[in-house]
C-alpha cells in the first residue's frame, strides 16, 4: 500500500469504483493521481458516480471509456449527496475524454447545479463514439477555459452546444467536429433574449468534416459570427 500514494496514473473498472465508493480504501490512498481512466463500467447506476472522485485530490485528466453512463454531471435531484464534493474535487480537471459511451445523452444536464464548477476550468474536451449524445451541454454551463474541442462519430448529435455555452468559448483555439451525421447546426437556436453574436476571439483551427446534414452554424435570424484569429 505504501507505493500506491505515489501513483500518478490509474485505470479502474466497475468493481474498483464500488470498493472505493464503499470506503474500502484509506481516503488518502490515491491523493497523487493526476490521470484517471475509467474502463468498462457496466451495470452501474446510469448516473456517473461523482462522489467517489473525492479520493483524487490532484486529478487533472479524466478519461471515461466503454461505460453505460447516461449522464455525467447529474441534476440536483439525482446527486444523492454527491454535489457537495463537486467543487472541491473537479476544479482541478483540465482534460475530459469520453469514448464509446453508447448511452450518454448529455455531458452537462440542464439542471446540473454543479456543472459550471466542473467544466469551467476544462481546457481539453474530446468526445468520441458516443452515438446517443444529443448535445454537449443542455445547460448554460460555461466553458470559459476550453482551448481544444474534438467531437468525432457522435451520430445522434443534432446541435453542438447551446447559444449561451457557445458565447462562453472565449479561449477556444481548436475545434474539430467530424462524422456526426445528424448534426444540423453547430449552435442551438435559443430564444431567451441573448445577444445575437458569437465572437470566437482565439479560434485558429476549425475543422468540419463529413457533417452530411449540417445546414448552418446557427439558424437564428440576424445572427453574427466572428472568427478574427482563424488561420
Spell out the domain ranges in the chain: 4-226
Q: What is the pLDDT of residues 120-154, one digit of tens each?
A: 789 999 999 999 998 887 656 678 899 999 999 99
Cell of residue 32, nine digits: 497523487
Contact 90, 61 (CB under 8 A): no
* Domain 4-226 in this protein, CATH class: alpha beta
- Report the percentage of the chain scoring pLDDT > 90: 39
Q: Tell whether the model's pLDDT for residue 108 goes beyond 80.
A: no
Beta strands in 153-217 (DSSP E): 159-161, 174-178, 185-187, 197-199, 205-209
Q: Tell whether the model's pLDDT for residue 174 goes beyond 50.
A: yes
Length of the chain: 231
Strands 205-209 and 174-178: parallel
Q: How far apart are CA 144 and CA 115, in angstroms?
A: 13
Q: Tell whether the model's pLDDT for residue 51 goes beyond 90.
A: no
Average pLDDT over residues 188-209: 83
* Cell 454527491 -> residue: 82
Kindly write down the DSSP assignment for every residue of 116-169, as one continuous string.
HHHHTT--EEEEES-TT--EEESS----TT--EEEEE--TT-SEEE-HHHHTT-
Cell of residue 170, nine digits: 472565449
Amino acid at each position: 500500500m505504501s507505493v500506491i500514494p505515489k501513483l500518478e496514473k490509474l485505470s479502474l473498472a466497475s468493481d474498483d469504483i464500488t470498493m472505493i465508493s464503499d470506503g474500502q480504501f484509506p481516503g488518502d490512498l490515491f491523493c497523487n493521481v493526476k490521470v484517471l481512466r475509467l474502463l468498462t463500467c457496466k451495470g452501474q447506476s446510469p448516473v456517473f458516480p461523482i462522489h467517489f472522485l473525492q479520493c483524487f485530490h490532484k486529478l487533472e485528466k479524466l478519461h471515461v471509456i466503454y461505460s453505460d453512463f447516461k449522464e455525467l454531471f447529474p441534476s440536483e435531484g439525482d446527486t444523492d449527496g454527491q454535489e457537495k464534493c463537486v467543487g472541491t474535487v473537479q476544479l482541478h480537471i483540465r482534460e475530459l475524454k469520453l469514448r464509446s459511451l453508447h448511452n450518454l445523452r448529455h455531458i452537462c444536464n440542464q439542471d446540473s447545479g454543479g456543472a459550471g464548477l466542473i467544466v469551467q476550468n476544462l481546457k481539453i474536451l474530446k468526445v468520441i463514439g458516443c452515438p446517443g449524445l444529443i448535445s454537449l451541454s443542455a445547460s448554460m454551463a460555461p466553458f470559459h477555459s476550453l482551448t481544444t474541442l474534438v467531437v468525432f462519430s457522435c451520430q445522434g448529435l443534432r446541435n453542438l452546444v447551446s447559444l449561451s455555452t457557445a458565447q462562453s468559448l472565449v479561449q477556444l483555439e481548436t475545434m474539430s467536429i467530424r462524422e456526426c451525421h445528424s448534426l444540423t447546426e453547430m449552435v442551438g437556436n435559443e430564444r431567451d433574449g441573448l445577444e445575437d453574436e458569437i465572437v470566437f476571439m482565439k479560434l485558429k483551427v476549425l475543422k468540419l468534416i463529413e457533417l452530411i446534414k449540417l445546414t448552418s452554424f446557427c439558424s437564428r435570424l440576424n445572427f453574427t459570427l466572428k472568427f478574427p484569429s482563424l488561420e
